[in-house]
Amino acid sequence: MGGINPYQDTTEPALPTKAYRITFEPLGKTIEVDPSQLPVSDEGFPGSILDIAMGAGIELDHACGGVCACSTCHVVIEQGAASCQEASEDEEDMLDSAPGVQLNSRLGCQAVPNGQADIVVRIPGWNRNHAKELH
């Protein structure tokens, strides 16, 4: 499910300008991200962690359809967090309602890496039952 939340700022962050790798833990799955192929799904911001996960067949939970209106896509960026654009106020507000929030917590549907670093994303334990590979 994709869509637009009319109550949120939907300005799309810039897509990365160079290729990078993103690793999803604890699945241990690394994906090569080619900016020219983005978006790879219709979930979340184009090039977002959720977009990349869904395009790679990693079913990251996203109850609101990737429009910054839940927090089920919560992930912790363990490496390379600085390469994602800053969280918006709307994202920060939504993260406040997520369990187990950490310093580098982000909403997968909102965080868009710029390609300046390889990143490692951990799917929190409470969300892990929902995160599985589709293929």
Which residues are near ligand FES by CB under 6 A? Answer: 62-64, 66, 68-73, 94, 107, 109
Q: Quick check: helix, strand or coil at residue 24?
A: strand
Shortest reach from residue 23's CB to ligand FES, in Å: 20
- Contact (Cβ atoms closer than 8 angstroms) between residue 34 and residue 130: no
DSSP helix/strand/coil, 21: strand
Minimum distance, C-beta of residue 97 to ligand FES, in the bound complex (Å): 10
Question: Closer to ligand FES at the Cβ: 111 or 119?
Answer: 111
By beta-carbon proximity to ligand FES, the closer residue of 23 and 72 is: 72
Judged by CB, which is closer to ligand FES: 15, or 69? 69
Q: How far lies 60's CA from each of 14, 26, 57, in Å?
A: 22, 12, 9
Token output for 29:
């799955």
Distance in Å, CB of 18 to ligand FES, minimum: 25
